[in-house]
Amino acid sequence: MARPPGIAMQARDRILDEWAAGATAKMIARGLGFAPKAVHQVVCGARRAGDPRAVMRNAGAGWRPEPVTYPSSRAYLDAALARAREAQARWDASPMGVRMREIAEPPDAN
Protein backbone atom coordinates (compact mmCIF):
# COMPACT_ATOMS: atom_id res chain seq x y z
CA MET A 1 0.00 0.00 0.00
CA ALA A 2 1.31 3.44 -0.87
CA ARG A 3 1.59 5.77 2.08
CA PRO A 4 2.31 9.48 2.27
CA PRO A 5 6.04 10.25 2.28
CA GLY A 6 7.59 10.48 5.70
CA ILE A 7 5.12 8.17 7.47
CA ALA A 8 6.83 5.11 8.91
CA MET A 9 5.08 1.76 9.19
CA GLN A 10 4.93 2.10 12.98
CA ALA A 11 3.22 5.48 12.65
CA ARG A 12 0.85 4.03 10.02
CA ASP A 13 -0.11 1.21 12.37
CA ARG A 14 -0.62 3.64 15.24
CA ILE A 15 -2.80 5.86 13.03
CA LEU A 16 -4.97 2.91 12.02
CA ASP A 17 -5.20 1.56 15.57
CA GLU A 18 -6.28 4.95 16.91
CA TRP A 19 -8.72 5.38 14.02
CA ALA A 20 -10.27 2.00 14.82
CA ALA A 21 -10.56 3.08 18.46
CA GLY A 22 -12.62 6.11 17.38
CA ALA A 23 -10.11 8.95 17.30
CA THR A 24 -10.52 11.66 14.68
CA ALA A 25 -7.89 12.60 12.12
CA LYS A 26 -7.23 15.87 13.98
CA MET A 27 -6.74 14.07 17.28
CA ILE A 28 -4.39 11.50 15.75
CA ALA A 29 -2.43 14.17 13.86
CA ARG A 30 -2.01 16.25 17.01
CA GLY A 31 -0.63 13.26 18.90
CA LEU A 32 1.83 12.30 16.17
CA GLY A 33 2.79 15.74 14.92
CA PHE A 34 1.42 15.17 11.42
CA ALA A 35 -1.03 17.17 9.36
CA PRO A 36 -4.62 15.87 9.54
CA LYS A 37 -4.53 15.45 5.76
CA ALA A 38 -1.64 12.99 6.08
CA VAL A 39 -3.65 10.96 8.59
CA HIS A 40 -6.64 11.04 6.25
CA GLN A 41 -4.45 9.83 3.36
CA VAL A 42 -3.18 6.90 5.44
CA VAL A 43 -6.72 5.91 6.45
CA CYS A 44 -8.09 6.21 2.90
CA GLY A 45 -5.19 4.24 1.45
CA ALA A 46 -5.63 1.52 4.07
CA ARG A 47 -9.37 1.42 3.34
CA ARG A 48 -8.67 0.89 -0.38
CA ALA A 49 -6.21 -1.86 0.57
CA GLY A 50 -8.90 -3.56 2.66
CA ASP A 51 -7.52 -2.89 6.15
CA PRO A 52 -10.42 -3.51 8.56
CA ARG A 53 -9.14 -0.84 10.95
CA ALA A 54 -9.83 1.88 8.36
CA VAL A 55 -13.61 1.66 8.58
CA MET A 56 -15.69 4.44 7.04
CA ARG A 57 -17.32 6.40 9.84
CA ASN A 58 -20.01 8.01 7.73
CA ALA A 59 -21.69 4.99 6.21
CA GLY A 60 -23.76 7.14 3.85
CA ALA A 61 -20.74 8.90 2.36
CA GLY A 62 -20.05 6.16 -0.14
CA TRP A 63 -23.68 5.73 -1.19
CA ARG A 64 -24.70 6.72 -4.67
CA PRO A 65 -28.17 6.31 -6.15
CA GLU A 66 -28.64 3.74 -8.86
CA PRO A 67 -28.44 5.27 -12.32
CA VAL A 68 -31.80 5.82 -13.93
CA THR A 69 -32.36 4.91 -17.55
CA TYR A 70 -35.15 6.33 -19.64
CA PRO A 71 -36.66 4.69 -22.71
CA SER A 72 -36.48 7.95 -24.64
CA SER A 73 -35.42 11.56 -24.39
CA ARG A 74 -39.10 12.50 -24.11
CA ALA A 75 -39.45 10.28 -21.02
CA TYR A 76 -36.37 11.96 -19.53
CA LEU A 77 -37.78 15.43 -20.19
CA ASP A 78 -41.17 14.47 -18.73
CA ALA A 79 -39.48 13.18 -15.56
CA ALA A 80 -37.34 16.34 -15.30
CA LEU A 81 -40.43 18.52 -15.71
CA ALA A 82 -42.25 16.54 -13.01
CA ARG A 83 -39.27 17.02 -10.64
CA ALA A 84 -39.23 20.74 -11.38
CA ARG A 85 -42.96 21.03 -10.71
CA GLU A 86 -42.57 19.12 -7.42
CA ALA A 87 -39.75 21.45 -6.37
CA GLN A 88 -41.86 24.49 -7.30
CA ALA A 89 -44.79 23.13 -5.27
CA ARG A 90 -42.50 22.61 -2.24
CA TRP A 91 -41.24 26.19 -2.61
CA ASP A 92 -44.75 27.58 -2.97
CA ALA A 93 -45.81 25.80 0.22
CA SER A 94 -42.74 26.85 2.22
CA PRO A 95 -42.92 29.84 4.58
CA MET A 96 -40.39 31.75 2.47
CA GLY A 97 -42.30 31.04 -0.73
CA VAL A 98 -45.52 32.29 0.86
CA ARG A 99 -43.76 35.44 2.09
CA MET A 100 -42.16 36.10 -1.29
CA ARG A 101 -45.54 35.77 -2.98
CA GLU A 102 -46.99 38.30 -0.53
CA ILE A 103 -44.35 40.95 -1.21
CA ALA A 104 -43.74 40.34 -4.92
CA GLU A 105 -44.86 43.01 -7.33
CA PRO A 106 -45.97 41.79 -10.75
CA PRO A 107 -44.25 43.45 -13.72
CA ASP A 108 -46.07 46.18 -15.59
CA ALA A 109 -48.40 44.72 -18.21
CA ASN A 110 -47.63 47.35 -20.88
Condensed to tens digits (0 to 9), the pLDDT of residues 76-86 reads: 999 999 999 99
Ranges of the chain with pLDDT below 50: 1-3
φ, ψ for residue 97, nearest 5 deg: -65, -40
Please give the pLDDT value at position 55.
Answer: 87
| pLDDT attached to residue 28 | 93
pLDDT of residue 74: 95
Alpha-carbon distance of 104 to 110, in angstroms, equals 18
Threshold 0.75, pTM exceeds: no
Q: What is the CA radius of gyration of the chain?
A: 25
